[in-house]
């Protein structure tokens, strides 16, 4: 496949045929009008953050992997009603408090409507926290890999790539050219559905910590050799996100490059898009990705060239992002409470629904919580990326859709296909299939699935609560009460640990 760059840093810009530019509308450029309303950077006290997150309540955790994540992120609300995301570092990270504060302050000066702006930090004792704007509409990973209603449309994928390139260029132009562990979980969507780059990646996990926490199959070759991040490493990681956008899956770069070299690049395109994308645009994005993923750093394009190439690919420039994503423009933010988030499916609300045997409420909560209680560490290695894996993930997506639409017989069938694949393990799938069995008046099967969810995640209260419901349907009242109490004890322990 030919290069889309005549030399490093020069993009061979696609032809700007008027027929390919919708209504001749120019793509949106970064601006500072929204940034003016962002609070100035400040240092918070630990007590202020504790109050904002209601005691760092586990029900307010919004990061992937929940409490098991290396760096936990909480949703919180400040005294002035500003919604924030509060990232907690491990106690062993950033032992030098002043160095941490100086680094945070530097990142906090980089302001743009293309990034999630950092508005503060906290460093009391050995505690280290960052405070940023709260993004209410999930991550790119959620919209690409775990969608339930519909796949992300092609024009929105191109917009994500363009906005992300603009964000990286803005950071580079403002003295922050390095970004650590760039991946689909670092791209979040704001209240208008616009994608933004998380500011957290502008700082390492610690003074001397790892810059990449994902599977090594996705890290830049030079990082694997030296353990150091350079500007070109960020371009490599950007290439992996282009692959995500193309395929709707997290494909190892080596596998993608093999397909491209074998002139089989069309197999990279997400099957959900079918004919709803421009093959010419798809070819151009493949070419951009292949250049970003070059083994030698000097052979990769610079970020300015990426911005220019992606600007020419923008479509539907007059259509707001939230419309293309199919979400409300300004979703209401519920008040954070001591027992959890209203409407967010907190464990306390789940316990109450299970106590009432309210299967409809249990279903609503499981739909809303999605896969937030699953570990985010199930990365797919090159060896695991097979047709069987793709079929298995598609089965889970079909199961999620059936579960959402309350077609419980089909949900059981599709989730069973996923489970029998045997490569990935998900307690949430077992919990969902357990409820589907309950809805189908199959308490024995429901109990087995809830027990399996407990086996995978022994400290997950949801698994115990579902067992309680199944046991009660089997007229085993004492056992049901015991399971309900065990779940409540686990939930109380999680709250006390925070």
CA–CA dist 263, 116 (Å, integer): 38
Q: Are strands 129-133 and 83-88 parallel, antiparallel or unpaired?
A: antiparallel
Residue 201 CA to chain centroid, in angstroms? 13
Q: How far apart are alpha carbons 465 and 452 in whole angstroms? A: 13
Q: Is 102 a catalytic residue?
A: no
Give yes or no for a contact between 131 and 85, defined as CB atoms under 8 angstroms apart: yes
Distance CA 244, CA 64 (A): 18
Point out the catalytic residue in the list 10, 181, 244, 281.
181
Q: Which residues are the active-site residues?
A: 181
């Amino acid at each position: 496949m030919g290069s889309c760059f005549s030399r490093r840093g020069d993009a061979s810009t696609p032809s700007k045929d008027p027929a390919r530019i919708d209504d001749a509308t120019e793509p949106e450029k970064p601006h500072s009008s929204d940034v003016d309303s962002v609070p100035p950077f400040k240092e918070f006290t630990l007590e202020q953050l504790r109050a904002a997150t209601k005691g760092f309540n586990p029900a307010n955790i919004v990061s992937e992997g929940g409490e098991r994540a290396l760096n936990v992120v909480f949703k919180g609300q400040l005294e002035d009603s500003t919604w924030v995301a509060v990232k907690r570092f491990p106690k062993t990270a950033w032992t030098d408090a002043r160095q941490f504060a100086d680094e945070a302050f530097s990142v906090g000066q980089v302001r743009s409507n293309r990034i999630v702006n950092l508005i503060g930090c906290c460093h009391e004792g050995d505690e280290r926290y960052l405070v940023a704007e709260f993004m209410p509409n999930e991550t790119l990973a959620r919209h690409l890999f775990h969608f339930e209603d519909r796949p992300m449309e092609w024009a929105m994928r191109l917009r994500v790539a363009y906005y992300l390139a603009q964000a990286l260029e803005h950071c580079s132009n403002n003295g922050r050219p390095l970004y650590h562990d760039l991946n689909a979980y670092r791209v979040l969507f704001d209240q208008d559905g616009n994608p933004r780059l998380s500011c957290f990646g502008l700082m390492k996990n610690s003074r001397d910590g790892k810059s990449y926490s994902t599977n090594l199959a996705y890290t830049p070759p030079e990082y694997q050799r030296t353990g150091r991040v350079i500007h070109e490493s960020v371009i490599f990681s950007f290439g992996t996100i282009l692959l995500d956008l193309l395929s709707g899956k997290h494909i190892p770069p080596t596998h993608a490059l093999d397909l491209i070299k074998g002139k089989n690049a069309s197999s990279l395109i997400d099957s959900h898009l079918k004919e709803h994308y421009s093959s010419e645009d798809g070819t151009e994005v493949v070419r951009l990705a292949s250049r970003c993923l070059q083994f030698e750093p000097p052979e990769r394009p610079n970020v300015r060239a990426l911005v220019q190439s992606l600007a020419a690919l923008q479509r539907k420039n007059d259509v707001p992002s939230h419309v293309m994503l199919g979400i409300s423009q300004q979703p209401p933010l519920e008040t954070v409470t001591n027992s959890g988030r209203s409407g967010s499916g907190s464990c306390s609300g789940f316990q109450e629904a299970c106590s009432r045997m309210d299967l409809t409420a249990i279903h609503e909560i499981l739909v809303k919580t999605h896969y937030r209680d699953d570990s985010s560490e199930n990365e797919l290695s090159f060896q695991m990326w097979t047709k069987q894996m793709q079929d298995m993930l598609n089965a889970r997506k079909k199961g999620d859709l059936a579960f959402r639409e309350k077609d419980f017989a089909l949900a059981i069938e599709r989730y069973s296909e996923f489970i029998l694949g045997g490569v990935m393990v998900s307690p949430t799938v077992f919990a969902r299939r357990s409820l589907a069995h309950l809805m189908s008046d199959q308490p024995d099967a429901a109990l087995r699935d809830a027990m399996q969810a407990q086996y995978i995640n022994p400290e997950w209260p949801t698994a115990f609560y579902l067992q309680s419901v199944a046991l009660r349907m089997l007229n085993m009242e004492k056992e049901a009460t015991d399971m309900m109490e065990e779940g409540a004890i686990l939930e109380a322990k999680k709250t006390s640990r925070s």
